[in-house]
Amino acid sequence: MSTALLPPGDSYDEVRARFRWDIPARCNIAQEACERWVGSGRTALMHLREDGVERISFDELHRRTCRLANLLEAQGIARGDRIGVLLPQSPEAAVAHLAAYRIGAIAVPLFLLFGEDALEYRLADCGAAALLTDAAGLEKIAAIRDQLPALRCVLAVGGGGGALDLGAGMARAKDSHACAATGPDDPALIIYTSGTTGSPKGALHGHRVLRGHLPGVELPQERFPQPGDLFWTPADWAWIGGLLDVLLPSLFHGVPVLAHRMAKFDPEFAFRLMADHGVRNAFLPPTALKMLRAVPDPARFGHRLRSLGSGGETLGAEVLDWGRSAFGLTINEFYGQTECNLVVSNSAALFPVKPGSMGRAVPGHEVAILGADGAPVPPGTEGAIAIRAPDPVMFLGYWNKPEATREKFRGDWLLTGDRGLTDEEGYLNFLGRDDDVITSAGYRIGPGEVEDCLLRHPAVAMAAVIGLPDPLRTERVTAVIVPKPGVTPDATLAAGIQDFVRTRLAAHAYPRQVEFADSLPLTATGKIMRGVLRRQLARE
C-alpha cells in the first residue's frame, strides 16, 4: 500500500498545489509506526551487532512494545508520565519510544554523551517518573538519583545498580496491550533544545509530530519510500534528526532501519556499512560528510545509495560536487529546528539544487522572511526566518515555560531565531542566527549551560562560551576563562577544565579551545558580550 503523504507530480509547484494534510482524529505514534504493519511480514529493524545482524520484524517489534508497555504500567507508569530514554541506536531504544507512546506517556530522549549535570537537569525539569537505560547510563544515574525524587522506576538492560532488569521484566509481561486512545495534540515527546541564556528548554510535541515530519522526509529522500529502501543514519536517535528524520518515519512507511551504535564516527567503516548492508537512504550530518570526503576512492566500496539528505549546517558547492562524484547523486540539504523541523528542503529530482540554499518550503508548510514589523518581506530582503502556525510539525510549547513559548511567536508566526532571505523562486538562504547558539558537528549547543558547568570548576571565576569557525565542525566550542585569584592559567589547567566539562556535562559540548583572560566584556547590565569576544578571537 502507498503510505506517502506527498502527492504525485512532475514539478515542485504541482506537488505543492496538490498537497493536503491527513491528520486523523485518533492518532498514536506506536500504532502508526508499528502496529499497523503487524502481519505484513516486513522487517522493521536490522540491528548490526558484533556477532552479525539481528533482523526484527514488525510483528516482533510490536510484541516487545506491548511487553514493555505492560511492564511500565505494572510499575505504576501511566498516561502523561515522562519516561527518559538513555539508550544507543538499538531495538531497546525503538521499543522504549513505542511503548511510551502506546501507554500515552511522554518519551524524553537523552544523549548518550550527556554527563551527570546534563542528565540531572533534564530528568528533574520534566519530572521523569521512569528511565530506560543500559549499564553505561546506569553508572551516570547512580550519582544523581538522590536528586531525582520523581524518578520512581529505572529499567536497565541487564539490571543491576538498583535498577529492574529490562529483559527479564519484559519476558514475564504479556505480549498484547490495548493502545491508549490519543489525539494529534496529545503530548508524546519532549526534546530538549539549548538556548543562549538560562537552562535548556523542553520542546513538547504531540502525536501529530510524526505525520508532520513525513513530507520533509519524503522530499529530500526523493519520493521515499520506494521498493527496496533501507534507511540508516549515524545520528543518535536522541537527536530529532535521528528520531524523526529517520527512525519513526521509516517505520511509519514500513521501511527497515539499520541500527548500529558507533562509539566514534569512522568514515571508512561508514562506507563499508552502507555497501555491505545495501543501505539505500541515508541522513548524514554535514560533519559526517566532511569526514567521508577524506576517504580516497569511495566508489571502491560499492555502495548503492538512492537518496541522501543532510541538515543542521549549511553545505557549500564543494561538498555538493563531491557528493555527486562519490555517490552519483545530489545531496539534498534541508532545514528545521527542534521546535518545528523539516520545513524547508531540496529535492534534486523535482527542482535544481542551488549551492548555499536550504531549498524551498516543503509542501504543507508556509515559511517566510519577516521584517522588523513582523510582516513578510519581498525576495532578496534579509529578515527573520519564520513558519506560520498552525502546523502539524510545530511543537505544542516549551515544557512548563509558557513565557518562553509566547516569546517564540509573533502573531501567527513561529520565530526560528535564524536570519535569511529568499530569492524570486522561493529558495531559502540561511544567513546566520539571532542568538549565540553554537552549531558544532550538527549539535546545537547553548553557551549558557556550558558556562554554568564551567563556573562549577574550582579554578574558574568567570566564563564565556562562544563558537569560532571550524573547517570540520562548522564551529568549535571555545571557552574564555577568567581564573580565580592565585590560579595560574596554563595548559594543564586548560586540559583539566576541558575534562571537567566533558565528564560532567556532555562530550560534544566541552570546549575544544580554552582561552584565558583578565576580564570579560560586559554590557551595562552585566551580560556577556559574546559578539565582542568572537570578533577579538577571530582576529588572533
Span 158-181, pLDDT tens digits? 999 889 999 999 999 999 999 999
Nearest to 240 by CA among 340, 381, 151: 340
List beta partners, residue 27: none
Calculate mean pLDDT across residues 286-302. Answer: 88
Ranking 1-5, 213-217, 381-385 by mean pLDDT, the lowest is: 1-5
**Residue for cell digits 508520565?**
81
| Burial environment of residue 471 by CB neighbours within 10 A (0 to 12, 13 to 18, 19 or more) | exposed
Contact residues for 398 (Cβ-Cβ < 8 A; gap 6+): 201, 202, 203, 204, 404, 405, 408
Q: Give the single-character DSSP code of 479.
A: E
> Is the pLDDT score of 526 beyond 60?
no
The pLDDT assigned to 448 comes to 77
Type of residue numbered 372? A
Q: How many CA atoms lie within 13 A of 527 on its CB side?
A: 12
User: Distance (Å, rounded) from C-alpha 195 to C-alpha 169?
Assistant: 38
Question: Residues 524-528: what's their mean pLDDT?
Answer: 60
Q: Which range (52-56, 201-205, 315-319) has the least confidence?
A: 315-319
Residue 314 is predicted with a pLDDT of 72
Q: What is the pLDDT of residue 196?
A: 52
User: Which residue carries 595560574 as its cell?
Assistant: 488
Least confident stretch, 144-148, 223-227, 473-477: 473-477
Residues in the chain: 540
Residues 6+ apart with CB under 8 A from 481: 454, 460, 462, 463, 489, 497, 514, 515, 516, 517
The β-bridge partners of 421 are 429
User: Which H/E stretch holds residue 310?
Assistant: strand 307-311
CA 226 centroid distance within chain: 24
Structural domains of the chain sorted by starting position, each given as residue range(s) with its CATH number in brackets:
23-207 (3.40.50.12780), 438-539 (3.30.300.30)
Residue type, 344: V
pLDDT classification of 527: cutoffs 50, 70, 90: low
Confidence at 148, pLDDT banded by 50, 70, 90: very high
CA distances from 341 to 59, 302, 394, 474 (A): 30, 32, 7, 20
Mean pLDDT value of segment 217-225: 98
DSSP 3-state assignment of 416? strand
Out of 246-250, 389-393, 527-531, pick the least confident: 527-531
- pLDDT at 31 > cutoff 70: yes
Q: CA-based angle 99:105:109, to the nearest 5?
A: 75
Whether the CB-CB separation of 320 and 353 falls below 8 Å is answered with yes
What contacts 329, CB < 8 A, 6 or more positions away? 305, 306, 307, 308, 323, 348
CB atoms within 10 A of CB 143: 12
540 pLDDT above the threshold of 80: no
> Looking at this protein, which amino acid is placed at residue 519?
S
Distance CA 182, CA 102 (A): 9
> Are 184 and 207 contacting, i.e. CB atoms less than 8 angstroms apart?
yes
Integer Cα distance of 532 and 520 in angstroms: 9
CA distance 153 to 155: 7
pLDDT at 208: 98
Rounded to an integer, the average pLDDT of 137-164 is: 96
Residue 407 has pLDDT above 80, yes or no: yes
Summarised one tens digit per residue, pLDDT across range 411-465 is 999 999 988 999 999 999 988 777 777 888 888 787 878 987 998 899 998 889 9
> Any idea what the Cα angle at residue 65 is, between residues 145 and 111, rounded to 5°?
40
435: nearest Cα among 398, 482, 385, 478: 385
Identify the CA nearest to 92 among candidates 173, 177, 174, 157.
157
Question: Are the C-beta atoms of residues 407 and 339 closer than 8 Å to each other?
Answer: no
**Residue tagged 513525513 (cell numbers):** 214
For the chain, the C-alpha Rg in angstroms (whole number) is 23
pLDDT at 441: 87
Q: Is the peptide bond before 469 cis (omega within 30 degrees of 0)?
A: no
Q: Which helix (H) or strand (E) holds 465?
A: strand 460-470
Return d(Cα 101, Cα 170) in angstroms, integer: 17
Q: Give the C-alpha separation, 56 to 108, whole Å.
A: 24
| Mean pLDDT over each residue of the chain, to the nearest integer | 94
User: What is the mean pLDDT of the segment spanning 344-365?
Assistant: 96
CA distance 480 to 416: 27
Dist CA 335 CA 340 (whole Å): 10
Question: What ranges in 113-266 are assigned the alpha helix state H?
Answer: 116-126, 135-142, 166-172, 209-218, 240-242, 248-252
